[in-house]
Chain A
Amino acid sequence: MSTDATAPVLPTAAEHHAPTPEVTSDPHPQAEVVFDVQGLNVYYGGFKAVRDVDLHIHRNEITAFIGPSGCGKSTVLRCFDRMNDLIESARVEGKVLYHGVDLYDSRVDPVEVRKRIGMVFQKPNPFPKSIYDNVAFGPRLNGNKQNLDDAVEKALRGAALWDEVKDRLRKSAMGLSGGQQQRLCIARAIAVDPEVVLMDEPCSALDPIATARIEDLMQEIKSLYTIIIVTHNMQQAARVSDRTAFFTTEVNPESDSRTGLLVEYDRTDKMFSAPADERTENYVTGRFG
């Protein structure tokens, strides 16, 4: 058995940001596959939270996960950066291939996964530190000590926050408004130049104006990052995403618990205008959920 030769090697950020040959003129047809999910089941203890998820996530697209509460969309999202590992009882079956490397291979270090795949949470969670230290947190972790100022400025500009905070970088991040805090969290995530940014209902704690700013921002940065967003807001999915995955729940007859499953996954315009599955149609037309 040759272990080293077959050991999975996670691609570096630099490889990901190499220019892609096919450019924006026709973003749709054959975008590169970043994640290939095969037969994913997630359990919490003996409880099966999600079953049989198969989907592809395409590069430089925004993919939205929608569905009713408890359908497992956040659970699936957290498989992409192995955040489910932090829940002791969680167990994952199946494959999450990231450029061909199974993230759940026993030899893959979840910390290395999270360095490449950023995450933005439902509630803005800036560290109780200065704005500067929040954004510099990731670069410092990776040992990037030079040009820290440039990296911070670049990330804050990327998150459309620079002009609002450039005069108070040393002030606490806790003094920012909710929308600004969330954009700071996006800046913090993109400061390490990840390939993918996962967003778990990033606007659910924000007012409509702040939500619109985050949605604009997603459009601006999608040429640089692959974005997966969980949202309970169908209009948001329709507005921002290129592809939409609809999850729902089914009641397990023997235990009365609910298991989430992927119903349909397609281009967003098709999902909202001509869904193939009746359950999707019921959901997007507001007849259910």
Chain B
Amino acid sequence: MSEPSVVDESHRLLLEATTSRGRRVRNKLATVWMVGALVVALIPLAWVVGYVLIKGISSLDAAWFTEELTATTRRAGGGMGPAIVGTLVITAGATIMAVPLGILGAIYLNEYGGNGVLARVIRFMSDVMTGVPSIVMGLFIYTVYTVNFGQNGFGGSLALACLMLPIVIRSTEEMLKLVPDELRQGSYALGNRKWRTIISVVLPAAFGGIMSGVMLAIARAAGETAPLIFTIGAARAFNANLFEGQMTALSTQIFSNARVPFPAAQDRAWGAALTLVAIVFLFTVAARIVSARVARRHNA
């Protein structure tokens, strides 16, 4: 055997360094671990969606969307129309109140408040508000609104808006924080005023992220049950008037049907669950399409 040349030796060392066994094994292990974690995380998600789909799909026929609720949950028949309308109207009412307010609040926090006392207090309060259980929010609206004005959809909207507001504020603020200061400077340097810089440069740059946060808040609100139980009452008939008369919603229907031992009621609960998931899914997809359109216009 001849002595290995210096070149061969360094070549060997180089290969050894980059492909040593221990290194490769650790790399494989880490990859397997991460893929495994992803799969484990996806199992409950797929399970829930699949189960709801299987259990709920049989309830969904034409009458489901058009007919009123049955008089007692025990009997089969009837539809979920009033609850679908209720969920859409109440959530829309909450969105109209919470989203503009939340975005304006976030603009104040990030663009004007800075680290001032007021901004810090608002930031802290909205963090606290995020952690308030939804049933407490429902009780709060019950005592300040429902006791005085009676049970109606607007009370539910108010309660949901209170839940959405801190989510919208904090997610929007995070998105505004991500907008590079260079863009604001560039706008100011062209002689743009601050309010116009926010409208014409900062908000468009953050649009996609703000939209995601808003959708998260809407999805959360659409599924809330506890705040609605106190505030909207119970109704079997269609009522699209937010300010007059009691209403019902998909989430409260899931609750009232699932807790009774009758097969017809439990099927109905599954159907309502599927409808709710489908509504949230459709809105999320729609929001994605809108943000992609806007993003394409800005960053094509």
For A170, the chain B residues whose CB sits under 8 A away are 300
Q: How large is the interface on B (under 10, 10 to 19, 20 to 34, 35 or more residues)?
A: 20 to 34
Specify which of A113, A126, A141, A192 is in contact with B196 (CB 8 Å cutoff): A141
Q: Once the chains bind, are A127 and B185 in contact (CB under 8 Å)?
A: no
Given A123-B182, A125-B180, also A189-B189 (CB < 8 A): yes
A115 CA / B185 CA spacing, docked (Å): 13
Q: Which of A115, A119, A129 has the most CB of B within 10 A?
A: A129
Q: How large is the interface on A (under 10, 10 to 19, 20 to 34, 35 or more residues)?
A: 20 to 34
For B185, the chain A residues whose CB sits under 8 A away are 83, 86, 121, 125
What are the 3 A-B residue pairs with the smallest beta carbon separation, nearest first?
A115-B191, A125-B182, A119-B189
Q: Tell me if B201 is interfacial: C-beta within 8 Å of chain A.
A: yes
User: Which A180-197 residues have C-beta < 8 A from chain B?
Assistant: 185, 188-189, 192
User: Which B183-226 residues have C-beta < 8 A from chain A?
Assistant: 183, 185-193, 196, 200-201, 204-205
Specify which of A114, A116, A125, A175 is in contact with B183 (CB 8 Å cutoff): A125
Q: Tell me if A111 is interfacial: C-beta within 8 Å of chain B.
A: yes
List, sorted by A's number, 18 A–B pairs whose CB atoms are closer than 8 Å: A83-B189, A86-B188, A112-B191, A113-B191, A114-B189, A114-B191, A115-B190, A116-B191, A125-B180, A125-B182, A125-B186, A127-B201, A129-B204, A129-B297, A130-B298, A141-B190, A170-B300, A172-B300
- A sample of 4 more A-B contacts (CB under 8 A), given A128-B298, A129-B298, A130-B300, is A114-B189, A125-B180, A141-B190, A192-B190
Q: Tell me if B148 is interfacial: C-beta within 8 Å of chain A.
A: no
Question: In the complex, what residue of chain B is closest to A112 when comparing beta carbons?
Answer: B191
Q: Tell me if A260 is interfacial: C-beta within 8 Å of chain B.
A: no
Q: Once the chains bind, are A128 and B191 in contact (CB under 8 Å)?
A: no
For A145, the chain B residues whose CB sits under 8 A away are none
For B193, the chain A residues whose CB sits under 8 A away are 111
Given A127-B205, A130-B300, also A141-B192 (CB < 8 A): yes
For A171, the chain B residues whose CB sits under 8 A away are 300
Q: Once the chains bind, are A188 and B190 in contact (CB under 8 Å)?
A: yes
Q: Once the chains bind, are B299 and A128 in contact (CB under 8 Å)?
A: yes
Given A128-B298, A129-B298, A171-B300, also A138-B190 (CB < 8 A): yes
A161 CA / B272 CA spacing, docked (Å): 58
Q: Which of B183, B189, B298 has the most CB of A within 10 A?
A: B189
Q: Once the chains bind, are A172 and B190 in contact (CB under 8 Å)?
A: no
Q: Once the chains bind, are A192 and B191 in contact (CB under 8 Å)?
A: yes
A189 CA / B190 CA spacing, docked (Å): 7
A75 CA / B201 CA spacing, docked (Å): 25
Q: Distance (Å) between the CB of A165 and the closest chain B CB?
A: 13
For A86, the chain B residues whose CB sits under 8 A away are 185, 188
Question: In the complex, what residue of chain B is closest to A81 when comparing beta carbons?
Answer: B189
Q: Once the chains bind, are A114 and B190 in contact (CB under 8 Å)?
A: yes
User: Which A128-176 residues have C-beta < 8 A from chain B?
Assistant: 128-130, 137-138, 141-142, 170-172, 174-175
For A202, the chain B residues whose CB sits under 8 A away are none
Given A128-B204, A141-B192, A192-B191, also A121-B300 (CB < 8 A): no
